[in-house]
């Protein structure tokens, strides 16, 4: 691709974002991210209908869109800037209050949710007549398990959640993306492996992915922040941040560790030390935050448009309704069960006077938290990207099943859960401490 082609492509992308955003603002009037996905989803369904009727220009356009490598676009680097823009407003100290809850939700609950969904999948595939091994079902589980940080930060913030609840949801979703990618890579590797030491290989791959990413993120951030803190030129600050997240992600990919986790570490590192240098004076970094907010809006728009376009990958699939309904129910069930342990063990507002935190209050608090985190566990672009990257792992029949299951869950969580989370929070917030 030459420079002229790149400019042409970017102009089309930007025009698409402008038109969809403007139409949503004036006509549909949904939250931006939900509006983006809804409009492009409807457009994709119309295109599928016209394609079925044999409209030649639409068939050509639809085929060209389905040749987009969503997996490579999103996980090949696109996601690192979204994760950085989301995490650069969160400091290490913000996460310490509920560090055990966030860590256990991100690490343990993601794994448990993946295994529960995989187990339930083994039951459903018998109903719809699809053959799949348990390891292959675990690959699907790792695709479904992560909550989406982009959805959490862009949609849930508008629901009026308390600062503590927002940090728990954001912190979990930022880190469990990296965990889910690590699980996906691990299960995909086990699917190809003929070795008997599955448990050892699984543990070794996970440890290498996560701790390797943490190390890369910290080292790259520390080195480049030496330049950041000593320069007085605002554009260099922005360039340093772009370089830091790009380098951390690319090094992580080269070392085959979790790039998304490394990107989150870089963002939180910068947020923490930027605040310490200028005593939480965000106005000093006005240019920096303005730049990343604009980048965040653009990338978010593109991501949700891509999610809408992904409907073009859905074709005639046997057991369509059964797969859609069971996928959504299984996802909610796996999410709810997986978070109960961490919530019961670690969820407590330490700012609350211990005498007031009686047994009845504690039970109500934990039940309300479980409901909120289950319904607020939105799925997004990374699920779609992982699913679309399994073409070489599954048979065509299995691949269609995975795509439909994943897409159904993403659309349901975004449209139904995303639009109703505010009502749920309003109903249960008196029980939350």
Q: What is the pLDDT of residues 375-416, one digit of tens each?
A: 999 998 889 888 888 888 899 889 989 999 999 999 999 889
Q: Is residue 156 over pLDDT 80?
A: no
Task: Return the pLDDT at 281.
Answer: 67
pLDDT at 84 over 70: yes
At 62 the pLDDT is: 64
Per-domain residue ranges of the chain: 3-66, 70-431
- Alpha carbon distance 393, 395 (integer Å): 7
Closest by CA to 142, choosing from 170, 122, 118, is: 118
In tens, the pLDDT along 346-361 reads 887 776 666 666 777 7
Mean pLDDT of 72-77: 75
- Rounded to 5 degrees, φ, ψ at 131 are -90, 135
Tens of pLDDT, residue by residue over 269-292, are: 999 999 888 776 667 788 899 999
Q: Are 49 and 433 in contact (CB under 8 A)?
A: no
CATH class of 70-431: mainly alpha
Instruction: Read off the pLDDT of residues 307-317 as tens digits, 9 standing for 90 and up.
Output: 888 888 876 67
0.75 exceeded by pTM: yes
Q: Report pLDDT for 236.
A: 93
Q: How confident is the model at residue 194 (pLDDT cuts 50, 70, 90)?
A: low
The backbone region for 280, taken as left when phi is positive above 0, alpha when psi lies in -120 to 50, beta otherwise, is left
Contact call for residues 121 and 137 (beta carbons, < 8 A): yes
Q: What is the pLDDT of residues 116-139, one digit of tens each?
A: 999 999 999 988 889 999 999 999
CB-based contact 1:271 (threshold 8 Å): no
Q: What is the total residue count of the chain?
A: 433
- Which of helix, strand or coil describes residue 49? helix
pLDDT at position 301 is 82
Burial class (CB in 10 A: 0-12, 13-18, 19+), 141: buried
């Amino acid at each position: 691709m030459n420079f002229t082609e790149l400019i042409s492509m970017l102009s089309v992308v930007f025009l698409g974002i402008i038109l969809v955003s403007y139409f949503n603002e004036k006509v549909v009037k949904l939250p931006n991210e939900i509006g983006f996905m809804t409009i492009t989803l409807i457009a994709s369904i119309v295109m599928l209908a016209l394609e079925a009727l044999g409209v030649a220009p639409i068939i050509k356009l639809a085929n060209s869109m389905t040749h987009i490598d969503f997996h490579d676009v999103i996980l090949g680097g696109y996601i690192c800037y979204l994760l950085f823009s989301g995490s650069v407003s969160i400091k290490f100290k913000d996460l310490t209050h509920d560090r055990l809850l966030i860590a256990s939700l991100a690490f343990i609950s993601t794994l448990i949710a993946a295994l529960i969904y995989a187990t339930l999948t083994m039951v459903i595939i018998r109903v719809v007549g699809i053959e799949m091994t348990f390891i292959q079902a675990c690959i699907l589980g790792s695709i479904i398990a992560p909550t989406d940080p982009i959805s959490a930060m862009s949609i849930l913030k508008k629901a009026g959640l308390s600062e503590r609840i927002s940090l728990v949801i954001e912190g979990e979703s930022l880190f469990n993306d990296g965990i889910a990618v690590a699980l996906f890579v691990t299960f995909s590797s086990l699917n190809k492996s003929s070795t008997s030491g599955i448990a050892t290989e699984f543990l070794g791959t996970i440890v290498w992915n996560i701790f390797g990413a943490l190390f890369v993120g910290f080292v790259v951030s520390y080195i480049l922040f030496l330049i950041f803190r000593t320069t007085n030129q605002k554009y260099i600050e922005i360039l340093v941040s772009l370089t830091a997240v790009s380098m951390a992600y690319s090094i992580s990919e080269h070392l085959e560790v979790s790039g998304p986790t490394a990107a989150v570490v870089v963002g939180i590192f910068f947020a923490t030390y930027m605040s310490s240098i200028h005593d939480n004076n965000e106005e000093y970094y006005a240019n920096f935050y303005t730049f990343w907010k604009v980048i965040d809006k653009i990338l978010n728009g593109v991501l949700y448009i891509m999610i809408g376009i992904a409907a073009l990958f859905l074709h005639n699939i046997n057991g369509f309704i059964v797969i859609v309904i069971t996928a959504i129910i299984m996802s909610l069930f796996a999410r709810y069960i997986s978070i109960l342990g961490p919530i019961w063990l670690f969820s407590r507002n330490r700012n609350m006077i211990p005498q007031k935190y009686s047994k009845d209050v504690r039970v109500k608090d934990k039940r309300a938290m479980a409901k909120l985190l289950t319904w607020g566990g939105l799925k997004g672009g990374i699920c779609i990207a992982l699913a679309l990257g399994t073409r070489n792992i599954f048979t065509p029949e299995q691949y269609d099943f995975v795509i439909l299951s994943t897409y159904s869950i993403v659309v349901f969580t975004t449209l139904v859960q995303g639009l109703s989370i505010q009502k749920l929070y309003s109903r249960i917030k008196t029980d939350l401490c």
